Amino acid sequence: QVQLVESGGGLVQPGGSLRLSCATSGQFNDYSIGWFRQAPGKEREFVGTISRSGGSTHYEDYVKGRFTISRDKAVNTVYLQMNDLKPEDTAVYYCAVNRPGGSFYKPEGYDNWGQGTRVTVSS
């Protein structure tokens, strides 16, 4: 199955910003895309999702006001803008394609997972 490709991770100081990219390819431009993250020893958790049109987004409480998801279908890319980063944001970040009829907020509702991009927030 086709995988999405995440990029843009790296090392950043607390309070800094990063923009992650998710290369979807054109075949997924009419699907909702989700962002998840997983820290070592922890379960994968929901970060946020963007609708098929890009007109609506939903976020988990711990990133509201700091993270923004957007999409640019002209370049087949979904973005996760991460501002005011905190050490507890350290994780591998993944994007995935929401399965029609699947949960918007749980990993089991998504397919085509990428290999992730690592974000480390440390001083």
Measured from the Cβ of residue 116, the count of other Cβ atoms closer than 10 Å reads: 20
pLDDT in tens, 38-93: 999 999 999 999 999 999 999 999 999 999 999 999 999 999 999 999 999 999 99
Q: Are 121 and 86 in contact (CB under 8 A)?
A: yes
11 vs 119: CA distance, rounded Å: 6
20 vs 78: CA distance, rounded Å: 8
pLDDT in tens, 88-110: 999 999 999 999 999 999 999 99
Q: Is the pLDDT at 1 greater than 90, yes or no?
A: no
The two beta strands, 117-121 and 91-98, are antiparallel
Which one is predicted more confidently, 1 or 20? Answer: 20
> Would you state the pLDDT for residue 60?
97
